[in-house]
Structure 1
Amino acid sequence: MTSGLAEGRVVVVTGAGRGLGRAHALAFAAEGAKVVVNDLGVGLDGGTAGATGGATDGATDEGAAGRGSSPAEQVVAEIRAAGGEAIAHGGDIATSAGAESLIAAAVDTFGRIDTLVNNAGFLRDRMLVNLDEDDWDAVMRVHLKGHFLPLKHAAAWWRAEAKTGREVVARVVNTSSGAGLLGSVGQGNYSAAKAGILGLTLVAAAEMGRYGVSVNAIAPAARTRMTEHTFADMMATPEEGGFDAMAPENVSPLVVWLGSDASEGVTGRVFEVEAGRITIMDGWRPGPTVDRGARWTPSEAGDATLKLLALSQPPLPAYGAR
């Protein structure tokens, strides 16, 4: 059952051809939004081999979608078949030209942009000693730069609107990860990029609030191409009739709410979301502290630090740590 929570809003979702992005695009459309479905159609590691054509991660290739169409076009076909409005965008949002064209596609087609959901990403997992520079750069590029550039161009459009005196009720939902909050063994590049997204979220929320823009981030857990093999046991589908806790569709309701005008006043926050659970993440806060009012010697600093550590909560382990 839908409520029209996003009725009339223009929503851009990156990486929306499969998995979480696809679920978000369909959920927004079901709530009345006009959706720009961005997807470059690449493989799990960012390569192009086998990236297009056929059904992937739940995208249908039957009926209006058409076998051989791109993942973004398949999602658009699903939305239109259900009576919604959507267009596909196949540009690379980790380039300035691609990100600018994404925002322009929304404005040129639907007259404006109200919500940006940054979701695109891929994996190149390696232990640090085996992590090539190219694999580092590629993951940082698509996750971190791929968040920054669409946000930059959308923010510029919203700021210009606000300066003309038109009311802006804009929303940004960024996609981090538990790996960005705690770290994940074998994912140094991915964890660093996802942690960077959290910092970007906080800065954007502080800078853009004056123009009517709210910026939040989610750290989702769901079954996608990026998780179904790495965490096979956790991501397994349930027996018929059971609650599919890891279905990506479980994450989308919070994303739709954060992307609607109903979330007024909620900004600069990070939410873990999976299955039926939503958790507000508190982030870095000052813990035990001591100030002697003068310079420490190294030994004195060490002794003081050990006492502070004894008073503090131990950190949660990184995913995959033993």
Structure 2
Amino acid sequence: MITTVPEIVTGVTRGDSDAWERAGSLLTTYYAQSNCPRVTLFSLTSRFSPSFPLTSHSDTSLKVTPCYLRDCDLLALANLGIKVAQDSVNQLFASEPLPELMAQIPLDTQLVDAPEQILDTDGALNQLWTALTKDPLTLKPKAAAAILARLRPATFPLFSRSDRLPWGEISDYLQFCQDLHDLLLADRGRLAHQLYYLHESLELPTWVSQIQLLQALVFSDYQADLAAHQELRRQEKATRKAERAAKKLRKKQAKQAKKQHKKLSEQEKSANLDSDLLSSASPFDNERAASGRHLAASEPADLGNSRSQLTGHGRHVRNDGEDGFISTDPVSL
């Protein structure tokens, strides 16, 4: 069951100018795509190459029996990523009572105009859905809905995950069709009328039905919001990365500044220590350092002899008499 009506649908329904402008931009971009699988699902025919715009699938001049899948139908489904066994589907639609059920739904019947008995729990749609999703085919809901949308493009919606999510938690295809039908009819068919005017103002091809237009609008709006959200997350991630890099750089710079400050402090401390040592040195140290020895050159030449005369020790070194001696004083040596 539909639990959330997309904001773009609500805005278009009430005639909001901003919503209409956004809807026009989104739909123009959507239907201008030449190889969009969702577009070619409805526009691709056997007489034209898969490019936009194409002749409507419902062209009566083709005289195609609606209960059979043609080659172009299979190609359109394959473009959407759906592969089905043609023989099995054709055999199923050729057997009773499917041909009669399909005959109850004219080819150009819009969903808003579909009779209530078709959408009832015992109606044609429910029987068709059961036949496609039960034995022997057992198709997935996305594939079964795509086949019905291809055969009755004005009546049945797509049922992919991207088509369901904008409307809330939806798991039942029949209920989804009934809810969309009621939404188109609500308020005397206001949404259906707005979609008609939107179709005419954009000059879209005639094969674009109301349900296709509605789903294209919701799908493109959902994709645009998703892309914007992803871009926002990317920017936030880039911002966080830049902040982490800046924080790391600040830590590195602070560490380098601390190291440099420590180095300068050590140098200043060493310089102060040297200054203290110089200021506390003896004044005689300079004189001793200048002479190179403790004894200066002015020391008497006979220092040893003079000292020996005082002490009475030493050896004779001068030949000036019997009292001569040679000094053994280490200083004189």
Asked which structure has the greater CA Rg, the reply is: 2
Larger helix proportion of the pair: 2
The TM-score with structure 2 as length reference comes to: 0.24
The TM-score with structure 1 as length reference comes to: 0.24
